[in-house]
Amino acid sequence: MHQKKYLIEVLKKFKMMGCKPIETPAEFNVKLIKYEDEGHVGGILFRHMVGSLRYICHSRHEITFSVGLVRRFMIDPRHSHMTAAKRIMRYLRGTLNHGILFSCYSVENNSLDLVAYSDSDWCGDMVD
């Protein structure tokens, strides 16, 4: 299951199709906070971008945490928040063919076992 067609449309919409791909959706050890002295960015553009990213999370679970971080700043986005959202787009540009694969391990009983993992890092959130 993938959203490649939609992802290409989103990248084109935000003029990110020609961006340089990167390997991770977020920078390591960077805390997103609201800097009062940092310049504002277009709130409507930012909200549209984050909304598109949230929809992509349905088939690209690895970006969910990063999208959740930038989503906190939808009311008053700053340059650092837009940079973080664009970084997620750059990651997606480099991983267009990724998605979710559902497969059966046993052909005899034709069963499908879904297994999920979670990393609940409540103490790692410095903002809340």
Per-residue pLDDT of 5-22, as tens digits, reads: 999 999 999 999 999 999
Percent helix, strand and coil across the chain, each to the nearest 5: 40, 5, 55
Per-residue pLDDT of 79-106, as tens digits, reads: 999 999 999 999 999 999 888 877 766 6
Q: Which tokens is 113 given? A: 């076992």
Element containing residue 64 per DSSP (H, E): helix 64-71
User: Does residue 32 contact residue 69 with C-beta atoms inside 8 Å?
Assistant: yes
